[in-house]
Amino acid sequence: MAAATSSPPTIVVLAGGLSHERDVSLRSGRRVSQALRDQGHHVIEADVTSGLFDLLAGLSDPVVFPVLHGGVGEDGALKEVLALLGLPVVGSSAAASRIAFDKSICTPRLAGIVRTPRQVALPHDMFRELGARQLVQAVTDELGLPLMVKPARSGSALGCTKVVTAEALPAAMVGAYAYGDMAVIEEFITGVEVAVTVIDTGSGPYALPAVEIRPTSGVYDYTARYTAGETRFICPATLSDEVAERCATMALTVHRTLGLSDLSRTDIIVRDGEPFFLETNVSPGMTETSLVPLAVEAAGADFGELCADLVAAARARG
């Protein structure tokens, strides 16, 4: 628990934004806001607009709780601006957020520290100039098949495609480039998909129980993530105690190595008992089908109390 200060702050929950994940962010914002109000806190819900500075300047003791997903919400840009204003903010620093958000930087940064899939990062300009045929041959020779193609800087599985034939790779690349000018191609690892949330409210990071993800379609895409009934979630995951501990250790290692703060969620594939890192999120979803609230519940904690503790930790940090 973070130390309390003398008077309760006004909590500004930032949600929405202009990324492709705006709708999910708004849903996350509503849930966090209501959870904090249920704890008796004064909450203002706000979007990233030209009026945000004036709103924050007019409050005497604000703490900002961003639940923006993708783009400006997770790439560190907003955190940089809020730091200039000297406001307490829940979550990781701008620098740490930038590294975590960009898969073409984050995965190589962690390689050798935790198990990661082999990866190739290709900017759009290179893909266009060199031609798809030569690149397809080089990539499949290096990584084999199947593959997973992702935008380097996006979330919620937007623009992600599983590729099982070489002929399908160019179209998958085009789909990823619709969400940014850098795409990553990774070896596809088959196994049990889990997510591990790491929390730090001031006394050091700890891992919540792993959530196992079983999409009915077999692919944990945008629809499977945010449509009730499309995915079965099991928490704690059906892993042995030893493997579950290894997943928790991986999530904690990622959190510490990247210098993350307060809250992160690391996505992992377990193949033959061996965890492989997929990605980490500094602003994970908080909707009714999101993984962090499920893990909080499985841990026997209260979601509203956790949100309030994160606010208190940010306020104590200054």
Active site residues: 21, 156, 226, 265, 267, 279, 281, 285
The type of residue at 34 is Q
Helix residue ranges per DSSP H, the chain: 22-38, 52-57, 77-84, 94-101, 103-110, 124-130, 132-143, 169-177, 222-226, 241-257, 291-298, 303-317
What span, in angstroms and rounded, lies between the C-alpha atoms of 274 and 269? 8
C-alpha closest to that of 207 among 227, 237, 187: 237
Three-state secondary-structure class, residue 111: strand
Q: How do 182-187 and 147-151 pair as beta strands? A: antiparallel
Backbone angles phi, psi at 187, to 5 degrees: -60, 135
CB neighbours (10 Å) of residue 188? 17
